[in-house]
Amino acid sequence: MIKRFAPALALGLALSFPALTPVAQAQQLDLDEVFRCSGETVPQEDCLASREVILNSCTTCHTFVPIVMQSFDENGWRGLLTRHVENGRVSQLSAEQVETLRLYLAENFNGDLPPPELPPALLETWTSY
Ligand code: HEC
């Protein structure tokens, strides 16, 4: 599975760790931790599906960092995603995919749970949009 995400992830990380190969970069991060896919908050399958959507469709303009570091409640995520949809930023996603993603984000990145630990160089990409 992770292999499929590697290109999108490597793209984001290549900017932060230019000296490392994409494969090495991807292995430095525990994606199950970052995206909370260990099955504790949401069923692992749902988490992996949402993670795939994020890495494939949400990392062309900014990294995944603002997504996992930003905490919103359900309405906050609705507002953010509506803004993205209305601006045509994620036109490849169906309304159903966006809604599934919103619920996943609200469940996992909502201010109740501490944000994932990320290397400082990645955190710097938080405000790169
Ligand atoms: C076509 C470019 C583009 C894509 C693709 C994109 N975004 Fe964004 N994103 C932006 C821009 C521009 C901003 C800053 C302006 C704003 O907040 O709307 C942003 C900001 C954000 C923020 C930070 C908001 C804040 O208040 O700090 C989050 C979180 C976010 N996007 C999530 C997502 C998610 C989730 C996806 C995939 C569903 C996604 N983005 C895909 C362009 C994009």
8 with 43, same domain: the answer is no
Q: Identify whether 121 is part of a domain.
A: no
Confidence (pTM): 0.81
Q: Identify whether 127 is part of a domain.
A: no
45 with 76, same domain: the answer is yes
66 with 90, same domain: the answer is yes
C-alpha of residue 116 to centroid of ligand 1, in Å: 18
C-alpha of residue 64 to centroid of ligand 1, in Å: 9
The string of pLDDT tens digits covering residues 38-75 is 877 778 888 999 999 999 999 999 999 999 999 999 99
Give nearest CA residue, ligand 1 atom 21.
Answer: 66
109 with 76, same domain: the answer is yes
The string of pLDDT tens digits covering residues 2-27 is 445 444 555 455 444 444 445 445 44
Q: Identify whether 128 is part of a domain.
A: no
Give nearest CA residue, ligand 1 atom 14.
Answer: 129
What pLDDT is attached to residue 55? 96
103 with 81, same domain: the answer is yes
Q: What is the DSSP string of 1-19?
A: -HHHHHHHHHHHHHTT-TT
10 with 63, same domain: the answer is no
49 with 81, same domain: the answer is yes
C-alpha of residue 90 to centroid of ligand 1, in Å: 9
Q: What is the DSSP string of 29-82?
A: S-HHHHTT-SSSSS-HHHHHHHHHHHHHHSSSSS-SHHHHH----HHHHHHHHH
C-alpha of residue 18 to centroid of ligand 1, in Å: 24
* Alpha carbon distances (Å) from 34 to 82, 93, 104, 129: 24, 22, 13, 20
Residues with CB under 6 Å of ligand 1 are 57-58, 60-62, 66-67, 70, 80, 83-84, 89-90, 101, 129
